[in-house]
Amino acid sequence: MAKKNFREHLRGEEVRYKKYLYVLRPLLAARWIRDGRGVPPMRFAALAEATLDDRALLDEINRLLDVKMRAGEAATSPRWNGIHEFIERELEVAATQVLLDSSQPDATMLDAFLKETVLKSEAEQDERA
């Protein structure tokens, strides 16, 4: 998703603010997951703060967020060089990652939770009857 959005929307000298976010979010989420942290946070700012240690990049992203919040949906600006360079580096990292076969995930814990929930619900219904 990030690669496609980057290729289609961020190659020119003039870019839409929101397209940067469409590329940054999946890249930061992938980094979060690669670091073994589980499910990434929904809030973009929290995700960026927790996954990036480059203060200059974080400042640039925060400026982008601030400008994006005040601008219209279709607002554009010249390329944000620091963010753009980060995206290119992260896309290279992502391209080198080996995808694990997730066609048969371990559902043992989910099965146990479902069973427990169903049994609890049935017991509660029996008590009410």
Interval 102-126: pLDDT, tens: 566 678 888 889 899 999 988 888 8
Confidence of residue 55 (pLDDT cuts 50, 70, 90): very high
Mean pLDDT of the chain: 83
Higher pLDDT, 71 or 97: 71
Q: Where do the DSSP E strands lie in 1-129?
A: 14-16, 76-78
Buried-exposed string 26-62: b where 16+ CB fall within 10 A, e elsewhere: bbbbbbbeeeeeeebbeebeebbebbbeeeeebebbe
Name residue, tokens 């990030």. 2
> pTM (2 decimals)?
0.66
CB distance 27 to 52 below 8 Å: no
CB distance 86 to 59 below 8 Å: no
